[in-house]
């Protein structure tokens, strides 16, 4: 068996991990993610039933827009709790 290769002499101590974010993401990000979740959760059943995917997409965008303020407020509360301690 050969010995393991020597460690890189230029490598210093490992960097500290990036700090966790403390600011909530924008409502637009929440809208995109919520719409994607709704789309993925309904597309298979909708296609089996015979609903065109374009209709599912439009409904997903509308439902995502309705859910985005709710998930944004939840993100704001989570980030406030993270900042407090």
Q: What is the pLDDT of residue 47?
A: 93
Question: Is 56 inside any structural domain?
Answer: yes
- The number of beta carbons lying within 10 Å of the beta carbon of residue 43 is 15
Domain that holds residue 48: 27-84
Q: What is the pLDDT of residues 31-70, one digit of tens each?
A: 999 999 999 999 999 999 999 999 999 999 999 999 999 9
Question: Is 78 inside any structural domain?
Answer: yes
Question: Is 79 inside any structural domain?
Answer: yes
Q: What is the number of structural domains in the chain?
A: 1
Question: Is 22 inside any structural domain?
Answer: no
- Burial letters for 17-42: b for 16+ Cβ neighbours within 10 Å, e otherwise? eeeeeeebeeeeebbeebbeebbeeb
Question: Is 63 inside any structural domain?
Answer: yes
Question: Is 9 inside any structural domain?
Answer: no
pTM to 2 decimals?
0.73
Q: What is the pLDDT of residues 14-31, one digit of tens each?
A: 677 777 777 889 999 999
């Amino acid at each position: 068996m050969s010995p393991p290769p020597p460690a890189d002499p230029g490598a210093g101590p490992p960097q500290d991990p990036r700090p966790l974010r403390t600011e909530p993401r924008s409502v637009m990000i929440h809208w995109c993610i919520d719409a994607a979740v709704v789309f993925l959760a309904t597309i298979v059943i909708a296609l089996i039933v015979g609903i065109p995917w374009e209709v599912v997409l439009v409904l997903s965008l509308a439902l995502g827009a309705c859910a985005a303020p709710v998930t944004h407020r939840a993100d704001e509360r989570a980030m406030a709790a993270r900042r407090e301690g």
